[in-house]
């Protein structure tokens, strides 16, 4: 996703963008929608530009407990510093992209893709109190009760 210097100079005020989920190149994430909505606010500072915003991302997952498919909707916040100052490149507070004064545009797609990957849940659950599958008969305990006896 390219952002142009002219737009940064004018300023982006919660501008909405729609980007293709396939354009991010995340083979390990299965998106349930073809587009991702991105809202960006830019701020000019002495050493470059700050981009702040969020992405509305919807992914298709399989529940770790009951094995059903479910959509996971996530609103992911991000903060990106665009700068030509090399001493700011290793900043822990923001994602930093080196952006020289000669460049007319910058691709923030890799940073957005990294934020999506980092915000995927470790434990994928269809809902917080998912009961999972019966270890004896394999029925989904969210949908039916089984007559299996609990082993002690």
pLDDT of 148: 85
Q: Give the H/E segment covering residue 10.
A: helix 5-10
Separation between Cα atoms, residue 84 and residue 74, nearest integer Å: 32
In this prediction, residues 123-130 reach a mean pLDDT of 93
Taking the C-alpha atoms of 115, 78, 25 and 5 in order, what is their torsion angle to the nearest 10 degrees?
Answer: -150
Q: What percent of the chain has pLDDT over 70?
A: 93
CA angle 16, 109, 86 (to 5 degrees): 110
How long a stretch of residues is the chain?
152
Express each pLDDT in 134-152 by its tens digit: 988 889 999 998 888 765 4
CA angle 85, 89, 92 (to 5 degrees): 135
Phi/psi-derived region of residue 142, left when phi > 0, alpha when psi is between -120 and 50, beta in every other case: alpha
Read off the tokens for 141.
């305990």
The runs of H, that is alpha helices, within the chain are: 5-10, 109-118
Express each pLDDT in 90-122 by its tens digit: 666 668 888 888 899 999 999 999 999 999 889
Express each pLDDT in 17-32 by its tens digit: 999 999 998 988 999 9
């Amino acid at each position: 996703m390219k952002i142009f210097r002219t737009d940064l100079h004018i300023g982006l005020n919660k501008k909405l963008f729609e980007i293709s989920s396939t354009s991010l190149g995340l083979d390990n994430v299965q998106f349930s929608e073809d587009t991702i909505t991105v809202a960006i606010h830019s701020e000019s500072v002495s050493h470059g530009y700050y981009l702040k915003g969020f992405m509305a991302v919807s992914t298709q997952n399989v529940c770790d407990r009951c094995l059903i498919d479910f959509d996971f909707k996530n609103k992911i916040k991000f903060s990106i510093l665009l700068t030509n100052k090399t001493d700011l490149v290793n900043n822990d507070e923001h994602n930093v992209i080196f952006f020289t004064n000669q460049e007319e545009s910058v691709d923030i797609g890799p940073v957005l893709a990294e934020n999506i990957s980092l915000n995927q849940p470790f434990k994928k659950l269809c809902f917080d109190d998912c009961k999972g599958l019966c270890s004896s008969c394999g029925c989904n305990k969210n949908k039916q009760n089984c007559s299996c006896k609990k082993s002690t």
